[in-house]
């Protein structure tokens, strides 16, 4: 095959967001501090759970935060702003080593006078299945389920 033929069959790189670049520094014992390489606030991870969430807890927090941003944005675009949102996350773990996460349950609590159940459910579904880059970075076969509590009910 000629080099000209190779050029025509080589896939072009996909242009998208710039790469995420972070640095993580050991802070003693089981503690690590992470932040963007460009600076800014840091987060503490502590596998012992004494001074911060563990790395796995941080992963679960990242999923909740990522989907939460999407839910808030989707509902805001509907002109039904969220007044408060919280997400409880449960990650089931494999009993062996490594103790990877095997399934995730998300429980959303949304408060907003104008937010209708069907729109909140649709926003969550879109966040979890389409828009959240954290979810899309996890094993696609790992079950991620969710429930909704809207305005306390």
Express each pLDDT in 19-75 by its tens digit.
Answer: 999 999 999 999 999 999 999 999 999 999 999 999 999 999 999 999 999 999 999
DSSP letter assigned to residue 131: I
Phi and psi, residue 97, nearest 5°: -115, 130
Structural domain containing residue 31? 17-52
Residue 5 has pLDDT above 50, yes or no: no
Q: How far is the first Cα of the chain from the last one, in angstroms, to the nearest whole number?
A: 66
The mean-pLDDT minimum among 6-20, 48-62, 80-94, 138-152 falls in 6-20
- Give the predicted TM-score (pTM) of the model: 0.86
How many other CB atoms are there within 10 angstroms of residue 32's CB atom?
19
Residue 6 lies inside a defined structural domain of this protein: no
Same domain, 120 and 82: yes
33's tokens: 């501090």
Q: What's the total number of domains in the chain?
A: 2
Same domain, 111 and 143: yes
Residue 102 lies inside a defined structural domain of this protein: yes
1's tokens: 């095959």
Helix (H) and strand (E) counts for the chain?
A: 4, 6
Same domain, 82 and 130: yes
- In 3D space, the residue among 124, 112, 102 whose CA is nearest the CA of residue 150 turns out to be 112
């Amino acid at each position: 095959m000629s080099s000209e033929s190779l050029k025509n069959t080589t896939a072009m790189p996909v242009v998208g967001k710039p790469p995420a670049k972070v640095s993580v520094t050991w802070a003693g014992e089981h503690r690590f501090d992470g932040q963007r390489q460009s600076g800014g606030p840091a987060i503490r991870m502590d596998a012992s759970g004494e001074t911060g969430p563990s790395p796995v807890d941080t992963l679960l927090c990242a999923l909740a935060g990522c989907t939460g941003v999407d839910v808030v944005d989707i509902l805001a675009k509907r002109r039904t702003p969220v007044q408060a949102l919280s997400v409880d996350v449960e990650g089931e773990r494999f009993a062996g080593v490594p103790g990877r996460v095997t399934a995730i349950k998300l429980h959303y609590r949304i408060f907003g006078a104008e937010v209708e159940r069907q729109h909140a459910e649709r926003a969550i579904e879109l966040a979890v299945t389409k828009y959240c880059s954290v979810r899309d970075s996890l094993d696609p076969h790992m079950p991620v389920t969710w429930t909704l509590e809207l305005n306390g009910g």
